Amino acid sequence: MAGYDVAVVGLGAMGAAALYHLARRGVRVMGLEQFSPGHDKGSSHGESRAIRLGYSEHPSYVPLVRSAFENWHSLERDTGETVLVNTGILEAGVPGSPMVKGSVDACVEHGLAFEMLDATEVRRRFPGVVLPFDHTAIWQGEGGFLKPERANALHLKLATEAGAEVRTHTKVLALEPGSASVKLRLGDGSVIETGSVIVAAGAWASDLVPELKDLLFIQRMVLCWYETRAPELFGLGTLPVFAIDSGEDIVYGFPDFAGTGFKCASHYGSGVLAHADVARQDAGPDDEARTRRFIERYLPQAAGRLRAMKTCLYTMTKDEDFVIDLLPSDPRIVVASPCSGHGYKFASVIGAVLADLSTTGNTDHDISRFRMARFST
C-alpha cells in the first residue's frame, strides 16, 4: 500500500499551492523540495509578480486568472495577510503592438473594464512614464502585483497545519511507476511510495519526466532594482505595474513598495541554459546596461543608482503556453511545468487544478490549451 495518496515534487509557486489544496481536502500528501523553502534558484522569487485580468497572451487565460484572483483573496482572508496589491495595470507600446492589441482583445471578449490612453494622458496620470507620442496604452484598474515569497510561505504554512508532510533539502532522483504505486527514489537512498505524483519541479521537471526534454528550454532572466531620482513618482499610488513594448524589447516594472527600489526587467531572456544546475553567471554590467537604456528612454527619472540585480529562470515552451497535464504514458503522474515566464499569478488556481488532476484525473477548469498532445500535432 502506498504511504501517501499524492506526492508533490517541488515546492515553489505551483507545488506549494497544490500541497495547500490537497491538504485542505484531507488528502494524505507529502511535499518534497530539493532546496529550502523560498530559495532563489528557480522561478518563484523576486519580491513582486504581476497579476492582470486582460490577458495579452490569449483571451482563453482570462477565466483562469479570474479564479486565481478569487483564490488569492481567499488566502488573504484565511491568513489576515496581504499578498495581492492592486495598483492597476498599464500596458503601452509602439503602433500595432501585439501586447497592447492582445490585452484589448481579451478585455473586449470577456467584458472587462479598460481605457485606451494616449501618451499625453499617460504622462498626466503617471508623470514618471514618458511615452513617445506615437505610442498607445491600455489601462486596467484591476490588477497589480503579488508578493511571491510571502504567498508561497503562507501556502506551505496552511498546508502543514492541515496535515501535509514536508521534506526539504530532499532531491528526487527518479520516478518508478509500479502496478500498485509510484515510487520516488530520493537522493539519500530512501524510497517513498505514493498513489500519484505532481511534478512541479520547474526547470528541473525534465529530469524526472523525460518526455519533456525536447519540449522545454531554460532562459536566464535578470531583475534590476534602482534608486530613483524622483521617489515620489515611483511609489505606491503614483506608479502602477506596467509593461512597455518598444518594438525591440518588452520591459515591465513595479513601484517601490518595500523601500528596496524601483524594480524592472526585460521579458526576454539573456541566455539559454543547458540545465538548471549549470552555474548561472551573475548579472553583470551588460545585463544592467540593457535595462538602463530602456528606462532612460521611457522612465528617465527612474534611472538612478543601481541598488541590486538578481537572476531567475524562465522554463519555456516554444509556444510560450503552460504544460499542465496527466502524463500520457502514466496518468498517475501529473506534470505542472513550465509556465513560460507568465505563470506565477495563476499559482493559486493551478494548485487547485493539480489537486483535482492528482485525485480524480479531471478538473472543471479549462486547461485544454496546456495539454501535451499539442506538441505532437
Domain containing residue 308: CATH number: 3.30.9.10
329 or 281, greater pLDDT: 329
Would strands 191-199 and 4-9 be described as parallel, antiparallel, or unpaired?
parallel
Please state the rounded mean pLDDT for residues 244-262: 97
Q: Are 62 and 54 in contact (CB under 8 A)?
A: yes
Residues 164 and 305 in one domain: no
Residues 279 and 155 in one domain: no
Residue 64 lies in a domain: no
Q: How confident is the model at residue 286 (pLDDT cuts 50, 70, 90)?
A: confident
Where would I find the beta strands (DSSP E) of 81-125? 84-86, 89-93, 115-118
Residue 81 lies in a domain: no
Q: How far apart are CA 222 and CA 257, in angstroms?
A: 20
Q: How far apart are CA 266 and CA 332, in angstroms?
A: 37
Domain extent for 236: 86-141+216-317
Using alpha carbons, select from 237, 281, 283, 279 the residue that is nearest to residue 256: 237
Residues 99 and 188 in one domain: no
Residue 63 lies in a domain: no
Neighbours of 67 (CB within 10 A): 18
CA atoms in the 13 A half-sphere facing the CB of 116: 11
Please state the rounded mean pLDDT for residues 274-301: 89
Residues 118 and 222 in one domain: yes
Q: 287, 302, 317: which is the final residue of a domain?
A: 317
Residues 239 and 196 in one domain: no
Give the model confidence (pLDDT) of 42-54 as tens digits.
Answer: 999 999 999 999 9
Q: Are 104 and 53 in contact (CB under 8 A)?
A: no
Quote the pTM value.
Answer: 0.96
Residues 233 and 121 in one domain: yes
Residues 324 and 313 in one domain: no
Residue 377, pLDDT score: 72
Count of domains in the chain? Answer: 2
Neighbours of 137 (CB within 10 A): 25
Give the model confidence (pLDDT) of 145-182 as tens digits.
Answer: 999 999 999 999 999 999 999 999 999 999 999 999 99
Residues 189 and 264 in one domain: no
Please state the rounded mean pLDDT for residues 246-273: 94
Give the model confidence (pLDDT) of 78-134 as tens digits.
Answer: 999 999 999 999 999 999 999 999 999 999 999 999 999 999 999 999 999 999 999
The phi, psi pair for 14, rounded to 5°, reads -75, -45
- Is the pLDDT at 1 greater than 70, yes or no? no
Residue 75 lies in a domain: no
Q: 271, 300, 317: which is the final residue of a domain?
A: 317
Residue 305 lies in a domain: yes
Q: Identify the sign of the CA torsion 197, 201, 202, 205.
A: negative
Mean model confidence pLDDT for the chain: 96
Residues 206 and 227 in one domain: no
Residues 170 and 264 in one domain: no
Place of cell 495577510: 81
Residue 175 lies in a domain: yes
Residue 279, pLDDT score: 66
Give the model confidence (pLDDT) of 182-223 as tens digits.
Answer: 999 999 999 999 999 999 999 999 999 999 999 999 999 999
Give me the CATH number covering residue 174. Answer: 3.50.50.60
Using alpha carbons, select from 34, 48, 46, 30 the residue that is nearest to residue 156: 30
Residues 266 and 360 in one domain: no
Residues 364 and 220 in one domain: no
Share of residues in the chain with pLDDT > 90 (%): 92
